[in-house]
Amino acid sequence: MKKKLLISLIVIFGVLILDQIIKIWVKTNMEMGEEIHIIGDKIMFHFTENPGMAFGMDMGGLKGKIALSIFRIIAISGLSYYLYRIIKSGENTFYIICIALVIAGASGNLIDSAIYGLIFDKGTVFDLGINDWVGYFGLAKTSSEGYSGFLTGCVVDMFYCPIIDTHYPDWIPWVGGDRLLFFRPVFNVADSAITISVCLMIVFYKKVFRKKVVEIESDNENTIQESI
Protein backbone atom coordinates (compact mmCIF):
# COMPACT_ATOMS: atom_id res chain seq x y z
CA MET A 1 0.00 0.00 0.00
CA LYS A 2 2.77 2.45 0.93
CA LYS A 3 4.48 1.96 -2.44
CA LYS A 4 1.31 2.64 -4.42
CA LEU A 5 0.49 5.64 -2.25
CA LEU A 6 3.97 7.02 -2.87
CA ILE A 7 3.61 6.50 -6.63
CA SER A 8 0.26 8.32 -6.68
CA LEU A 9 1.69 11.25 -4.69
CA ILE A 10 4.70 11.50 -7.02
CA VAL A 11 2.37 11.60 -10.03
CA ILE A 12 0.07 14.23 -8.50
CA PHE A 13 2.77 16.57 -7.21
CA GLY A 14 4.98 16.00 -10.26
CA VAL A 15 2.20 17.13 -12.60
CA LEU A 16 1.21 20.02 -10.32
CA ILE A 17 4.76 21.36 -10.02
CA LEU A 18 5.41 21.12 -13.77
CA ASP A 19 2.03 22.69 -14.54
CA GLN A 20 2.56 25.65 -12.21
CA ILE A 21 6.18 26.27 -13.24
CA ILE A 22 5.19 26.55 -16.90
CA LYS A 23 2.10 28.66 -16.18
CA ILE A 24 3.95 31.13 -13.97
CA TRP A 25 6.81 31.41 -16.48
CA VAL A 26 4.37 32.09 -19.32
CA LYS A 27 2.35 34.50 -17.18
CA THR A 28 5.42 36.53 -16.18
CA ASN A 29 7.42 36.40 -19.41
CA MET A 30 4.92 36.58 -22.28
CA GLU A 31 2.36 39.10 -23.45
CA MET A 32 -1.23 38.04 -24.03
CA GLY A 33 -1.44 36.47 -27.50
CA GLU A 34 2.35 36.21 -27.87
CA GLU A 35 3.65 33.06 -29.54
CA ILE A 36 6.92 31.16 -29.24
CA HIS A 37 7.34 28.63 -32.04
CA ILE A 38 8.79 25.33 -30.86
CA ILE A 39 8.37 23.20 -33.98
CA GLY A 40 7.55 25.56 -36.83
CA ASP A 41 3.87 26.49 -36.96
CA LYS A 42 2.75 23.09 -35.67
CA ILE A 43 3.73 23.18 -32.00
CA MET A 44 4.08 26.46 -30.11
CA PHE A 45 3.52 28.39 -26.93
CA HIS A 46 0.55 30.73 -27.35
CA PHE A 47 -0.26 32.68 -24.20
CA THR A 48 -3.96 32.93 -23.50
CA GLU A 49 -6.28 32.71 -20.51
CA ASN A 50 -9.72 31.23 -20.22
CA PRO A 51 -12.40 31.70 -17.56
CA GLY A 52 -14.02 28.32 -17.91
CA MET A 53 -13.35 24.65 -18.43
CA ALA A 54 -10.49 22.73 -20.03
CA PHE A 55 -9.35 23.70 -23.54
CA GLY A 56 -10.88 27.19 -23.22
CA MET A 57 -14.53 26.14 -23.00
CA ASP A 58 -16.78 28.69 -21.31
CA MET A 59 -19.45 28.07 -18.69
CA GLY A 60 -22.23 30.53 -17.89
CA GLY A 61 -20.55 33.80 -16.96
CA LEU A 62 -19.15 34.75 -13.57
CA LYS A 63 -21.64 32.61 -11.62
CA GLY A 64 -20.78 29.66 -13.82
CA LYS A 65 -17.09 30.28 -13.16
CA ILE A 66 -17.61 30.18 -9.39
CA ALA A 67 -19.84 27.11 -9.69
CA LEU A 68 -17.15 25.37 -11.76
CA SER A 69 -14.50 26.13 -9.15
CA ILE A 70 -16.70 24.76 -6.37
CA PHE A 71 -17.44 21.68 -8.48
CA ARG A 72 -13.68 21.14 -8.94
CA ILE A 73 -13.17 21.26 -5.17
CA ILE A 74 -15.91 18.68 -4.60
CA ALA A 75 -14.66 16.47 -7.45
CA ILE A 76 -11.05 16.58 -6.25
CA SER A 77 -12.13 15.71 -2.71
CA GLY A 78 -14.25 12.79 -3.94
CA LEU A 79 -11.55 11.49 -6.27
CA SER A 80 -8.91 11.78 -3.54
CA TYR A 81 -11.03 9.66 -1.21
CA TYR A 82 -11.66 7.20 -4.05
CA LEU A 83 -7.91 7.05 -4.75
CA TYR A 84 -7.23 6.22 -1.12
CA ARG A 85 -9.85 3.48 -1.19
CA ILE A 86 -8.51 1.78 -4.34
CA ILE A 87 -4.94 1.98 -3.02
CA LYS A 88 -6.07 0.38 0.23
CA SER A 89 -7.96 -2.34 -1.65
CA GLY A 90 -4.86 -3.27 -3.66
CA GLU A 91 -6.02 -1.98 -7.06
CA ASN A 92 -3.52 -2.32 -9.92
CA THR A 93 -0.92 0.45 -10.15
CA PHE A 94 -1.87 1.41 -13.72
CA TYR A 95 -5.40 2.36 -12.69
CA ILE A 96 -4.12 4.22 -9.63
CA ILE A 97 -1.85 6.32 -11.84
CA CYS A 98 -4.77 7.14 -14.15
CA ILE A 99 -6.88 8.41 -11.25
CA ALA A 100 -3.90 10.34 -9.86
CA LEU A 101 -3.50 12.08 -13.24
CA VAL A 102 -7.13 13.21 -13.17
CA ILE A 103 -6.74 14.57 -9.63
CA ALA A 104 -3.55 16.40 -10.62
CA GLY A 105 -5.15 17.91 -13.70
CA ALA A 106 -8.23 19.14 -11.88
CA SER A 107 -6.09 20.50 -9.03
CA GLY A 108 -3.77 22.35 -11.42
CA ASN A 109 -6.60 24.34 -12.99
CA LEU A 110 -8.25 24.85 -9.60
CA ILE A 111 -5.09 26.57 -8.34
CA ASP A 112 -5.33 29.08 -11.20
CA SER A 113 -8.99 29.76 -10.47
CA ALA A 114 -8.53 29.99 -6.72
CA ILE A 115 -5.45 32.18 -6.31
CA TYR A 116 -4.16 33.63 -9.60
CA GLY A 117 -6.64 36.50 -9.36
CA LEU A 118 -5.24 37.27 -5.91
CA ILE A 119 -1.48 36.96 -6.51
CA PHE A 120 -1.23 38.55 -9.97
CA ASP A 121 -2.09 42.21 -10.41
CA LYS A 122 -3.07 41.90 -14.06
CA GLY A 123 -4.91 39.26 -16.02
CA THR A 124 -8.10 38.45 -17.81
CA VAL A 125 -10.98 40.00 -15.91
CA PHE A 126 -14.08 37.94 -16.47
CA ASP A 127 -17.28 39.61 -15.36
CA LEU A 128 -20.75 39.38 -16.86
CA GLY A 129 -19.46 37.68 -19.96
CA ILE A 130 -16.84 40.34 -20.80
CA ASN A 131 -13.16 39.46 -21.19
CA ASP A 132 -10.93 42.49 -20.55
CA TRP A 133 -7.20 41.90 -20.67
CA VAL A 134 -4.89 44.51 -19.19
CA GLY A 135 -1.14 44.06 -19.74
CA TYR A 136 0.71 42.16 -17.03
CA PHE A 137 3.03 44.15 -14.76
CA GLY A 138 3.90 41.87 -11.87
CA LEU A 139 2.84 40.14 -8.68
CA ALA A 140 0.20 41.77 -6.55
CA LYS A 141 1.62 43.19 -3.31
CA THR A 142 -1.60 42.38 -1.47
CA SER A 143 -4.68 40.32 -2.33
CA SER A 144 -6.65 43.55 -2.76
CA GLU A 145 -4.34 44.49 -5.64
CA GLY A 146 -5.06 41.28 -7.51
CA TYR A 147 -6.97 41.37 -10.78
CA SER A 148 -9.81 39.18 -9.49
CA GLY A 149 -11.21 37.50 -6.39
CA PHE A 150 -10.98 34.06 -4.83
CA LEU A 151 -12.20 31.30 -7.16
CA THR A 152 -12.64 33.76 -10.06
CA GLY A 153 -9.13 33.85 -11.50
CA CYS A 154 -8.60 32.64 -15.05
CA VAL A 155 -6.73 29.52 -16.13
CA VAL A 156 -3.46 30.06 -18.00
CA ASP A 157 -3.14 28.11 -21.27
CA MET A 158 -0.14 27.97 -23.56
CA PHE A 159 0.20 24.82 -25.69
CA TYR A 160 -1.10 25.34 -29.22
CA CYS A 161 -0.76 22.58 -31.80
CA PRO A 162 -2.50 23.41 -35.11
CA ILE A 163 -1.15 20.25 -36.75
CA ILE A 164 -3.57 20.54 -39.66
CA ASP A 165 -4.25 24.01 -41.07
CA THR A 166 -5.92 23.85 -44.47
CA HIS A 167 -9.34 24.26 -46.12
CA TYR A 168 -12.18 21.86 -46.77
CA PRO A 169 -12.52 20.87 -50.45
CA ASP A 170 -15.06 23.04 -52.28
CA TRP A 171 -17.20 20.04 -53.16
CA ILE A 172 -18.07 19.24 -49.52
CA PRO A 173 -21.59 20.55 -48.71
CA TRP A 174 -22.01 23.38 -46.16
CA VAL A 175 -18.31 23.60 -45.20
CA GLY A 176 -16.68 23.58 -48.64
CA GLY A 177 -13.92 26.20 -48.80
CA ASP A 178 -14.02 26.89 -45.04
CA ARG A 179 -10.87 26.70 -42.97
CA LEU A 180 -10.01 23.32 -41.41
CA LEU A 181 -7.89 23.73 -38.30
CA PHE A 182 -6.88 20.83 -36.08
CA PHE A 183 -6.03 21.00 -33.19
CA ARG A 184 -7.61 24.40 -32.38
CA PRO A 185 -7.87 24.56 -28.54
CA VAL A 186 -5.01 26.00 -26.46
CA PHE A 187 -4.30 23.87 -23.40
CA ASN A 188 -1.92 23.34 -20.48
CA VAL A 189 -0.20 20.52 -18.57
CA ALA A 190 -3.23 20.03 -16.29
CA ASP A 191 -5.55 19.57 -19.28
CA SER A 192 -3.05 17.14 -20.80
CA ALA A 193 -2.92 15.05 -17.61
CA ILE A 194 -6.69 14.53 -17.64
CA THR A 195 -6.76 13.78 -21.37
CA ILE A 196 -3.87 11.32 -21.14
CA SER A 197 -5.57 9.53 -18.23
CA VAL A 198 -8.84 9.12 -20.13
CA CYS A 199 -7.03 7.96 -23.28
CA LEU A 200 -4.99 5.42 -21.32
CA MET A 201 -8.11 3.97 -19.71
CA ILE A 202 -9.80 3.70 -23.11
CA VAL A 203 -6.81 2.20 -24.95
CA PHE A 204 -5.96 -0.17 -22.11
CA TYR A 205 -9.58 -0.88 -21.18
CA LYS A 206 -8.99 -4.59 -20.71
CA LYS A 207 -5.99 -3.99 -18.48
CA VAL A 208 -7.86 -1.50 -16.32
CA PHE A 209 -11.37 -2.96 -16.16
CA ARG A 210 -11.42 -6.45 -17.63
CA LYS A 211 -9.74 -7.99 -14.60
CA LYS A 212 -12.45 -6.52 -12.36
CA VAL A 213 -15.21 -7.94 -14.55
CA VAL A 214 -13.63 -11.39 -14.52
CA GLU A 215 -13.19 -11.28 -10.74
CA ILE A 216 -16.83 -10.22 -10.21
CA GLU A 217 -18.09 -12.95 -12.54
CA SER A 218 -15.89 -15.49 -10.78
CA ASP A 219 -17.17 -14.42 -7.36
CA ASN A 220 -20.78 -14.65 -8.59
CA GLU A 221 -20.21 -18.14 -9.97
CA ASN A 222 -18.63 -19.27 -6.70
CA THR A 223 -21.57 -17.83 -4.75
CA ILE A 224 -24.08 -19.65 -6.97
CA GLN A 225 -22.19 -22.94 -6.67
CA GLU A 226 -21.99 -22.61 -2.90
CA SER A 227 -25.72 -21.91 -2.67
CA ILE A 228 -26.45 -25.00 -4.78
Alpha carbon distance 86, 4 (integer Å): 10
| Cis peptide bond prior to 183, omega within 30° of 0 | yes
Single out the residue of 44, 186, 38 nearest to residue 124, CA to CA. 186
- The single-letter code of the amino acid at 54 is A
Question: Coil, strand, or helix at residue 10?
Answer: helix
| Residue in 41, 165, 191, 219 annotated catalytic | 191
Active-site hit among 157, 165, 170, 178: 157
Residue 205 vs residues 81, 103, 105, 199: alpha-carbon distances, Å: 23, 19, 21, 9
219 catalytic? Reply is: no
3-state secondary structure of 21: helix
For residue 175, what are the contacts with CB-CB under 8 A and spacing of at least 6? 168
Residue 58: active-site member: no
Chain centre distance of CA 175: 31
Q: Give catalytic residues, as residue numbers.
A: 157, 191
